[in-house]
Chains A and B, each alone.
Chain A
Amino acid sequence: MTATSDIASETVSDTVTDEYELVLTATQVRRLREWLLRDDGIERFAYVYCTPEDGRLFAREIDPVPGEDCEVQEEAAVRPALSVERERLGSALEDGLVPVMLHSHPFSDYPSFSGLDDDIMESYREWLGGLYPDTPLCFGVLGHRGMDTAVYIDPQRETRRRLPVEVVGDWALEGPLDAPTAPTTATVDEDRYDRSIRALTERGQQRLADRTIGIVGLGGLGSIVATQLARLGVRRFVFSDPDHVERSNLPRIYGATEADVGRPKVEVVSEHVVRANPEASVDAYEARVQDVPKDALAACDVLIGAVDRLTARLYCNEFAIRHLRHYVDAGVSIETTDDGHITEERGLVQLVAPGVTGCLDCLGRNDPERLRLESMDEAEIEADIERGYLDEDVRSPEPAITPLNALAANTTVRMVTKLVTGYEAPADYVRLDGTTNEMVSVGTHPSRECLTCGTDGCLGEGTQRIDEDTLAEAESLDLDVDLEELAEQDATATPTEITADSLRPAAPRPGDDAGPAPEIDSQSQSVAGGWYGTESPPAAEDPSGDDAEAPLASASGDTMRDDDRSRSDLSGSAQLLAVLRTNACPIAIGCLGVLALWRYLRR
């Protein structure tokens, strides 16, 4: 197209906005390419309807516009008929969706908007900007290898930016899609990461530094994953685990020592992580993943489930599908005979790239009996055991050893590294057999019938909303309902933010994987001033104790920061006392020397 544009150049910018991001799945990109880029060289048009949430636009539906519904469709121009525009745009906007108007330049590999495109976009803005002033107005043009985008963030103004695009499961595309990407601010310490950069490239290392990784379950598996990712250069973490460290966890949780027994796992592992990577920061939720605010989880580029509860895994799976986030599900199991002989040692690591690979429900990884057991309280379990419905051993912990955890953790971290840096396509599903030393990689596919990511599922729907249709349906049933309350409910857990600055410099800790360290017993820890120093009480004395349902961690996070302040605000006399305590022995020797000299001089 060669038409000139009246748009003032200062209103059109190459700047990529950081206020919005379009998220498409590789399957959706493939479908768009098939529809928009035909061999006949004719331009075509499609709407992409998106769920907006926290600045992300999750592509939910592709709506191709056939030629008969277009006012013009030829080699150098395409536009839907006005009646079609009114109907489809109106319907989407009334449903709270954000439409992206996408057309093709089949004559171009790396397209850009023409002058005619500029004029058309401006006419849309003048039309829709007044009607829907709070909805961003988005456009795209697709070529064979690339895509350009535009967004009027405030459609009442002429200023236009480029809209960044993220493709979920981009490795599954036949050819890469060159599109605007979100601006990155991460700089990499080239000295520290020299060897990694030689393997992953500087760009790959930068991507690791720029991503937020959520880890659900900070036990024997999750703690290794977290530590490895931190050492690899990941800087932003979100951790979720309601449990506290028990003595029987110590052989497996990286970073945990006897002194940590009774402390929240998320705090113990977070501290270990920020020691491994001082640039890292962790939002640590001492809570079930279901109680972590959705915006905190949605901010994670990759969510990793290293948790033993199927309820939590299924929650993560559905969350990833709704919010078009990558989810890596990792787990291990050991089967033994009655005399303790290992018969099976397995690890499973599954990648859920929503709409691109199979999800947990696609693969039938649901287990109603397990879910029922997880939903029962102690009294119910006791009653079921008495009736013979459950075996006594349902209450016994599963066998677990750290080498198997490490095997699954390594596979998980490799998968995440490939996913983030793009140096190689990650496997969809890896099955590890510890007894036979076999590692099998399997491809998976989403199922149309899947209740989570299938046709009637919730792919790209974002957080569940109670829309007007649902409310009307409920009212028509004449039922007693309180859907308003349902719509308003959200998780309320608050995080403890843990960074290297939160911690005092400490001597090497026992159990630190950086190297061997001398044994320190828990009695002497607080005196020796290791982890928390002398000002803080040992966390094992936390009155919340072992109770996973105890109030959440914000209070302890504030305490930690208060401790830091109290340390820096020590009065002069207190500092003098501290100096005296620390240097008591040399001062005593000095005093004796002065006394001896005085006596000698008197003689």
Chain B
Amino acid sequence: MNVADVIVEIEELKAEIGKRQSARMNYDLTEGVVTIEQLTLPEGWENKHGTRHADMRFDLDETYPRSQPTVYISSDIRYEGTSPHVLYARSSAPPGFVKYCIHTLSDWDPQEHDLVTMFRILEVSLENPHSDNPLVEA
């Protein structure tokens, strides 16, 4: 993982998020973790406090960007009162998070795709939690 390149990606991601909403970002590249705090989710999503806010977490492994990040979201959110299949409760996740199901994207290309791509995929997927191939739609 090239730290300088990832920092550039984070800068671009912050700008991308800033186009639509304000959210705070953290990162810890010793652990390969990028977190977006208090992201506003689309209509239909709700957390335990009854608001549409959630934290989003990208875990980048040591081979990033050759492999896509693993994505987690706050574990207390529901979509229209239910837990859709994108909330992957059976899989392991950091405390307070649940794995967000974007299984391996066969189209993932380290030359083209980055954190902004992943965020756009997530936005599309959150709009329609039953989307089959969010990468194409993003």
Contacts and interface: CB of A to CB of B under 8 A. Distances in A.
Contacts of B90: 383, 386-387
Interface string B92-128: 1000000100011110101100000000000000000
Contacts of A314: 63, 66
Interface string B1-35: 01110011011001000000000011111100000
A451 B111 contact: yes
Contact of B92 (A369, A379, A387): A379
A466 interface: yes
A470 B9 CA distance: 12
A372 B26 contact: no
A477 B63 CA distance: 24
A481 B28 contact: yes
Given A372-B104, A482-B28, 16 more contacts: A314-B66, A368-B108, A369-B104, A372-B67, A379-B92, A383-B91, A384-B103, A389-B104, A464-B3, A469-B4, A479-B14, A483-B29, A485-B30, A486-B3, A486-B29, A489-B30
A368 B11 contact: no
B76 interface: no
A530 B105 CA distance: 53
A227 B61 CA distance: 34
A458 B26 contact: no
Query: Dominant SS at the A interface?
Result: helix
B11 to A, nearest CB: 6
A315 B1 CA distance: 10
B30 A486 contact: yes
17 contacts: A361-B66, A368-B66, A371-B61, A371-B66, A372-B67, A372-B70, A387-B88, A387-B90, A389-B103, A449-B111, A470-B3, A470-B7, A477-B10, A479-B25, A482-B28, A485-B30, A486-B3
A417 to B, nearest CB: 31
A486 B32 CA distance: 10
A307 B128 CA distance: 41
Interface in B34-82: 61-63, 65-68, 70
B106 A369 contact: yes
A368 B88 CA distance: 20
A371 B61 CA distance: 9
Contacts of A480: 26-28
Given A369-B104, A384-B103, A470-B7, A451 B65 contact: yes
A368 B3 contact: no
A290 B32 CA distance: 15
Contact of B27 (A361, A377, A384, A481): A481
A311 B63 CA distance: 7
B7 A473 contact: yes
Contacts of A477: 7, 10-11, 14, 25
A491 to B, nearest CB: 12
B91 A379 contact: yes
Contacts of A389: 103-104
Most central of B8, B27, B63, B70 by chain A CB within 10 Å? B63
A479 B10 contact: yes
B92 A380 contact: yes
Nearest to A369: B104
Contacts of B88: 383, 387
Nearest to B105: A368
Residue picked from B4, B28, B62, B67, most chain A C-beta under 10 Å:
B67
Contacts of A550: none
B131 to A, nearest CB: 16
A327 to B, nearest CB: 16
A483 B11 CA distance: 15
A315 B68 CA distance: 16
A451 B66 CA distance: 9
